[in-house]
Amino acid sequence: MESDRQIVITGNWKMNKSTEETVAFVKGILPKIEAANALIYLAVPFTVIQPAVEATGGSKLVIGAQNMHDATDGAFTGEIAGGMLKDVGARFVILGHSERRHIFNESNSFINSKIKRALLDEIQPVLCIGETLEEHESGKIEEVLYTQLKESLEDITPEQLAKMIIAYEPVWAIGTDKTATPQHAQDTHRLCRDYLADKWGKEVADKIVMQYGGSVKPENAKSLLEQPDIDGLLVGKASLNLDFFSQIVNYR
C-alpha cells in the first residue's frame, strides 16, 4: 500500500554525459514523464546543469547537482558553491552520497555543514545514508544509519528537515546488481522514519520523502515503490538509459 506522500524518482548520472547527450536525453524524457504520477529529478554533472535546465523548457522535470561545498565563495580550488548551482538553475543537490563518503572521505560533520548551506541557499538537500557490506553482515545497520542521521542532521530543525529528501542507499547494493529486497528496504526505511519521529517529531517523519537507491531497474521499481515507507527511488546506472529510465518513472 502506498502512502499519500509525493513519489520522487531521481536519476543520478554521476560522472557521465556530454552536453549533446544531456540535451538529447532531456528532450527524449519529457514526453515520457507527462503521465507519470511521480516528480522526476535528474542530478547531472555541474557542466551540463545549465543546458539540462534550458532543455526542460519549464516542464515538471527538476534538475539538480550531485555535490556542493559548504562555503559561499573563496579560495577553494575546484569546488562549487550552492549560489553557483542556483545561478545555473539547479533546484536540489545530493549530499553525502556513498561515493563522496568513501572515495572522497566526506564526514558526517562536513555533510551537515553542506546541508545547512544548501538550505540557506534554498537548494533542496537530498541526504544519502547507507551501510557497507561489512556493516550489514555484522548486524550494525541500525547503529550506522542512526549515527549518519544524527550527525548529518545535527541542529537541523523539523521545519528544515521537512524541506529535504532522505535517500537510503545500502553501499553493497550500489552498482552491484544486488538490489535490496523490497522487504529489507521497507524495514530499513521504517527504522529510519521511526528514528526521525523520535528525534524530530512524528509530523515531519510522516511527511518526509524517503527514497531507496541501489541497483534500481525497470524490473524492480514497482515492487520497491509498493512498500508503504518507500516514497521514491534514486537511480544510478539505469537513469543513463532513456528507455530504462522511462520505464522506471512509469513503473505503474
Residue 175 in the binding site for ligand 13P (CB under 6 A):
yes
3-state secondary structure the chain: CCCCCCCEEEEECCCCCCHHHHHHHHHHHHHHHCCCCCEEEEECCHHHHHHHHHHHCCCCEEEEECCCCCCCCCCCCCCCCHHHHHHCCCCEEEECCHHHHHHCCCCHHHHHHHHHHHHHCCCEEEEEECCCHHHHHCCCHHHHHHHHHHHHCCCCCHHHHCCCEEEECCHHHCCCCCCCCHHHHHHHHHHHHHHHHHHHCHHHHHHCEEEEECCCCHHHHHHHHCCCCCCEEEECHHHHCHHHHHHHHCCC
> Shortest Cβ distance from residue 49 to ligand 13P (Å)?
17
Binding-site residue total for ligand 13P (CB under 6 A)?
14
Residue 55 in the binding site for ligand 13P (CB under 6 A):
no
Nearest position to ligand 13P, beta carbon: 236
Q: Write each residue from 96 to 135 as x if it is in contact with ligand 13P (CB under 6 A), else as -, in one continuous string.
A: -x--------------------------------------
Site for ligand 13P in 204-243 (CB under 6 A): 213-216, 234-238
169 is catalytic: yes
Q: Which of 69, 97, 136, 189 is catalytic?
A: 97
Nearer residue to ligand 13P within complex by CB, 12 or 200? 12
Residue 22 in the binding site for ligand 13P (CB under 6 A):
no
Residue 57 in the binding site for ligand 13P (CB under 6 A):
no
Q: How far is residue 34 CA from its own chain's centroid? A: 21
> Shortest Cβ distance from residue 233 to ligand 13P (Å)?
9
Nearer residue to ligand 13P within complex by CB, 108 or 200? 108
Q: Write each residue from 63 to 102 as x if it is in contact with ligand 13P (CB under 6 A), else as -, in one continuous string.
A: ----------------------------------x-----
* C-alpha span between 78 and 209 (Å, rounded): 31
> Shortest Cβ distance from residue 142 to ligand 13P (Å)?
22
Q: Which positions touch ligand 13P (CB under 6 A)?
A: 12, 97, 169, 174-175, 213-216, 234-238
Q: Which residues are catalytic?
A: 97, 169
